[in-house]
Structure 1
Amino acid sequence: MKVSLITVVYNAGGTLARCIDSVISQNHPDIEYIIIDGGSTDGSLQIIDQYRDFLSVIISEPDKGIYDAMNKGIMRATGDIVGTLNADDALADSDVLAAVVRSFELQNADVVYGNLNVIGPQGNINRRWISKQCVRNSFNWGFMPPHPTFYCKRELFGKYGFYSLEFGSAADYELMLRFMYKHDVKGYFLNKVLVSMLAGGVSNSSLKNRIKAWNFDLKAMRHNHIKIPVLTVVLKPLRKLHQFLKLKA
């Protein structure tokens, strides 16, 4: 199976080479690597140019944000499977994409997701996001897969749509709800760390942004007919507490 992997870049010169290196070191033989740059001015384009021979598609132009850029990449993808890898993040080891493909093939899945580590600037692990195999009702209790580990069959975008910009920072959550809850596609949990994700994020950078993110979450839940959305929006962040407990264990 061919994997299309999309990295969205905007002024990520400090982490981009690490991200790309983690992709080109994969042992899966059929990878289409797509980079969508939003018009970086910090040297990211020069880094991208150094890896040109390893890249299938390079686009650099203004966009409407990360999810608009992801949609651009998806529209150009030709693989059987599509995933995304943020420019600040890296695949956890060289077997990640091969393991994902094996899961699709053996489980006849529409979606595969796994675990991730949240790391600090020095590479120390701040949190371990250990996921689980979910059933459709899990989403009513605040469950969501780690989006950086989320891979799906490309055909799902044609059937059910792309990332919707009307949900702001919750566009990834809304898409997973739409695919896995509303349309009940077959998901499979791969119990393996797939991504090392750099700590941070705009939605958690201030109380104002956190409240805004909660509103987007609530909008996504109502749009996809979660049973008790107000309860679910409270449970969703509480589910992250176990990530810190697992780190101390």
Structure 2
Amino acid sequence: MKISIITSCYNRASTIRSAMDSVLSQDYPEIEYIVVDGASTDGSIDVIREIERLTHTGEFRSSRPGFEMKVICEPDGGMYEAVNKGIRAATGDIVGLVHSDDFLYSPHTLSRIAARFSESHADFLYGDGLFVSHDRTDNVVRNWIGGKYRLWKVRHGWLPLHPTCYIRRSVMERKGLYNESYKIAADSDLLFRYLVGGELSVTYLPEYIVRMRMGGLSTDSARRKQMWREDVRMYSSHGMNPVLMKLEKMLWKLPQFIEAKFK
């Protein structure tokens, strides 16, 4: 089972190395790693090309049969256009994302994900994640425990944490990619669109999958108003009451901050 991991990047020279290292250090052999850079101007592409060269010279554990790396570097219209490019270039059975500010929780993460897919034969997998301080990645700010999957939860504002979601590529080809008209809410739109109908087989992996640095596209407080507007448009497009769904979504998040205090 091949897993395609996509990392989109634009001017993330300070964090892209740790994101890439977390993928390259995985002990799972069948990885297709696709990095899509939007023509960065801060040196990000130099870091990406250096790591690409090291994979080819055997200086990373990932430089072994079964591992592939592809780099796409060209201007784009934003993160979701970049991610869609990566998905279209992917050839793996499973597709997952590791954003340029994030990193996989452990070197065994993809092995555990692959094992659960093999056991469950699911279409869609999600797990747990940690939000950490941007400069202190050992400082947990939010502890996101996904919990058991229930369709009624989706219909009342709950969605799994997007970077913990791994989806069969055949499902993405059938149900469509990210809606690029959204700048923040495209991930919520995709998850809601995939899950609300209830036709996919979904499995929960009760383990941490990712650490996410606070301050990313959807966690930056300066973008919260835009996120609210886009969420309202997204829920309205699916025939849902947007204000009610937003309020329910916020209520699902409250325990994460409480649990983080004791993490």
Scaled by the length of structure 1, the TM-score of the pair is 0.94
Quote the offset at 1:63 in angstroms.
0.5
Q: What is the SS of the residue equivalent to 1:239? A: helix
Aligned to 2:59: none
Quote the offset at 1:59 in angstroms.
0.7
Gaps of 5+ in 2: 57-62
2-structure distance, mates of 1:81, 1:246: 31
Q: What is the SS of the residue equivalent to 1:6? A: strand
Quote the offset at 1:42 in angstroms.
1.1
Choose from 82, 85, 104 the match for 2:98. 85
Quote the offset at 1:158 in angstroms.
1.4
| Structure 1 residues 244 and 130, CA gap change in structure 2 (3 angstroms) | same
Choose from 211, 228, 232 the match for 1:214. 228
Superposed, 1:57-76 pairs within 5 Å as 57-76=70-89
1-structure distance, mates of 2:91, 2:185: 26
Gaps of 5+ in 1: none
2-structure distance, mates of 1:195, 1:89: 7
Does the CA-based 8 Å contact 2:214-2:220 persist in structure 1? Answer: no
Output one character per residue of 1:155-210: Cα deviation in whole Å (capped at 9) or x when no partner. 11211110001233110000011111135311111100000100113444346x32
Alignment of 1:138 onto 2:153: yes
Structure 1 segments, 4+ long, off by >6 Å, are none
Aligned to 1:237: 250
Aligned to 2:29: 29
Scaled by the length of structure 2, the TM-score of the pair is 0.89
Choose from 119, 131, 144 the match for 1:118. 131
What amino acid maps onto 1:74 in structure 2? I
Superposed, 1:79-228 pairs within 5 Å as 79-120=92-133, 121-123=135-137, 124-182=139-197, 184-206=199-221, 209-226=223-240, 228=241
Percent of residue pairs identical? 37
Output one character per residue of 1:70-114: Cα deviation in whole Å (capped at 9) or x when no partner. 000000000000011101110000111111111111111101011
Quote the offset at 1:122 in angstroms.
1.5
CA RMSD of aligned residues (A): 1.5
Structure number having the greater helix percentage:
1
Does the CA-based 8 Å contact 2:19-2:103 persist in structure 1? Answer: yes
Does the CA-based 8 Å contact 1:13-1:47 persist in structure 2? Answer: yes
Number of residue equivalences = 247
1-structure distance, mates of 2:92, 2:211: 23
2-structure distance, mates of 1:225, 1:31: 38
Does the CA-based 8 Å contact 2:78-2:183 persist in structure 1? Answer: no
What amino acid maps onto 1:153 in structure 2? R
What amino acid maps onto 1:126 in structure 2? V
Q: What is the SS of the residue equivalent to 2:155? A: helix
2-structure distance, mates of 1:212, 1:17: 29
